[in-house]
Amino acid sequence: MKLKRTLLASAMASLALFPFASSAMEKADLMITDAMVLTMNQDKTVYESGTVVVKDNKIIAVGDASLEKQYQAKQVLDVDGDIVMPGLINTHTHVSMTVFRSLADDVPDRLHRYIFPLEKKLVSRDMVRIGANLGNVEMVKGGVTTYADMYYFEDEVAKTVDKIGMRAILGETVIKFPVADAANAEEGIKYALNFIEEYKDHPRITPAFAPHAPYTNTTEILQKISKLSLELDVPVMIHLAESHREEEKIAERSDGLSPVQYMDSIGALNKNLVGAHMILVDDHDIELVKKSDMGVAHNMSANIKSAKGVSPALKMYDENVRIGLGTDGPMSGNTLSTIDEFNQVAKVHKLVNKDRAAMPPIKVIDMATMGAAKALHMEDKIGSLEAGKLADIIVIDTKAPNMVPVYNPYSALVYSANSGNVRHSIVDGKIIMQDRDMLTVDEDKIRQEALDFTKVVRETVIESGEVVQ
Amino acid sequence: MKLKRTLLASAMASLALFPFASSAMEKADLMITDAMVLTMNQDKTVYESGTVVVKDNKIIAVGDASLEKQYQAKQVLDVDGDIVMPGLINTHTHVSMTVFRSLADDVPDRLHRYIFPLEKKLVSRDMVRIGANLGNVEMVKGGVTTYADMYYFEDEVAKTVDKIGMRAILGETVIKFPVADAANAEEGIKYALNFIEEYKDHPRITPAFAPHAPYTNTTEILQKISKLSLELDVPVMIHLAESHREEEKIAERSDGLSPVQYMDSIGALNKNLVGAHMILVDDHDIELVKKSDMGVAHNMSANIKSAKGVSPALKMYDENVRIGLGTDGPMSGNTLSTIDEFNQVAKVHKLVNKDRAAMPPIKVIDMATMGAAKALHMEDKIGSLEAGKLADIIVIDTKAPNMVPVYNPYSALVYSANSGNVRHSIVDGKIIMQDRDMLTVDEDKIRQEALDFTKVVRETVIESGEVVQ
DSSP-assigned beta bridge partners for residue B282: none
Residue in B333, B348, B402 nearest the CB of A419: B402
Decide: B59 and B388 in contact? Cβ < 8 Å: yes
Strands A26-38 and A46-55: antiparallel
For chains A and B, CB pairs below 8 A equal 211
Q: Which of residues 307-326 of A touch B (CB under 8 A)?
A: 307, 309-310
Stretch(es) of chain A classified as CATH 3.20.20.140: 88-375
DSSP-assigned beta bridge partners for residue A430: A427
Decide: A124 and B387 in contact? Cβ < 8 Å: no
Q: Which of B191, B182, B179 is nearest to B121 (CA)?
A: B179
Which distant-in-sequence residues (6+ apart) come within 8 Å of B84 by Cβ?
B32, B35, B36, B37, B38, B50, B52, B385, B393, B394, B395, B396
Rounded CA separation B95/B273 (Å): 20
Domain B2-86+384-438, CATH: 2.30.40.10
Decide: A372 and A147 in contact? Cβ < 8 Å: no
Mean pLDDT of chain A: 94
Q: Quick check: B101 and A407 CB within 8 A?
A: yes
Strands B167-174 and B205-211: parallel
Q: Which residues of B touch A137 (CB under 8 A)?
A: 401
Question: Chain A interface, mutation test: which of B350, B418, B469, most A Cβ atoms within 10 Å?
Answer: B418
Model pLDDT for residues A349-388, shown as the tens digit of each residue: 999 999 999 999 999 999 999 999 999 999 999 999 999 9
Q: What per-residue confidence (pLDDT) applies to B460?
A: 84
Q: Which residues of B touch A335 (CB under 8 A)?
A: 402, 415-416
Which distant-in-sequence residues (6+ apart) come within 8 Å of B312 by Cβ?
B281, B286
**Does the CB of A336 have a partner CB in chain B at under 8 Å?**
yes
Q: Quick check: B447 and A399 CB within 8 A?
A: yes
Decide: A147 and A93 in contact? Cβ < 8 Å: yes
Q: Quick check: A305 and B458 CB within 8 A?
A: no
Q: What are phi and psi of B300, to 5 degrees?
A: -50, -50
DSSP string, B61-77: EEEEGGGGGTEEEEEEE
Q: What per-residue confidence (pLDDT) applies to B464?
A: 58
Rounded CA separation B261/B51 (Å): 47
Q: What per-residue confidence (pLDDT) applies to A260?
A: 98
Q: Quick check: B138 and A457 CB within 8 A?
A: no
What are the mean pLDDT values of chain B's consecutive 10-residue runs (469 residues total)? 42 48 83 98 98 98 97 98 98 98 89 88 97 98 98 98 98 97 98 98 98 98 98 98 97 97 98 98 98 98 96 98 98 96 98 97 98 98 98 98 97 98 98 98 98 93 57
Q: What per-residue confidence (pLDDT) applies to B23?
A: 61
Q: Quick check: A137 and B458 CB within 8 A?
A: no
Rounded CA separation B17/A248 (Å): 66
Q: Quick check: B309 and A407 CB within 8 A?
A: no
Mark A56-87 as b/e (b = at least 16 C-beta within 10 Å).
Answer: ebbbbbbbeeebbebbbbebbbebeebbbbbb
Domain A88-375, CATH: 3.20.20.140
Predicted confidence band of residue A24 (pLDDT cuts 50, 70, 90): confident
**Does the CB of B41 have a partner CB in chain A at under 8 Å?**
no
Decide: A154 and A195 in contact? Cβ < 8 Å: yes
Q: Quick check: B305 and A350 CB within 8 A?
A: yes
SS3 content of chain A, % helix, strand, coil (to 5): 40, 25, 35
**Does the CB of B119 have a partner CB in chain A at under 8 Å?**
no
Q: Which of residues 153-212 of B touch A (CB under 8 A)?
A: none
A254 pLDDT above the threshold of 80? yes
Q: Which of A435, A266, A261, A331 is nearest to A98 (CA)?
A: A331
In a 3-state reduction of DSSP, which class is residue B4?
helix
Model pLDDT for residues A411-458, shown as the tens digit of each residue: 999 999 999 999 999 999 999 999 999 999 999 999 999 999 999 999
A255 pLDDT above the threshold of 70? yes
Q: What are phi and psi of B450, to 5 degrees?
A: -65, -45
Rg, C-alpha atoms of chain A: 22
Q: What per-residue confidence (pLDDT) applies to B109?
A: 83
DSSP-assigned beta bridge partners for residue B277: B240
Q: What percent of chain A has pLDDT over 70?
A: 93
Rounded CA separation A176/A212 (Å): 9
A17 pLDDT above the threshold of 60? no
Other C-beta atoms closer than 10 Å to the C-beta of B288 total 17
Q: Which residues of B touch A423 (CB under 8 A)?
A: none
Stretch(es) of chain B classified as CATH 2.30.40.10: 2-86+384-438
**Does the CB of B270 have a partner CB in chain A at under 8 Å?**
no
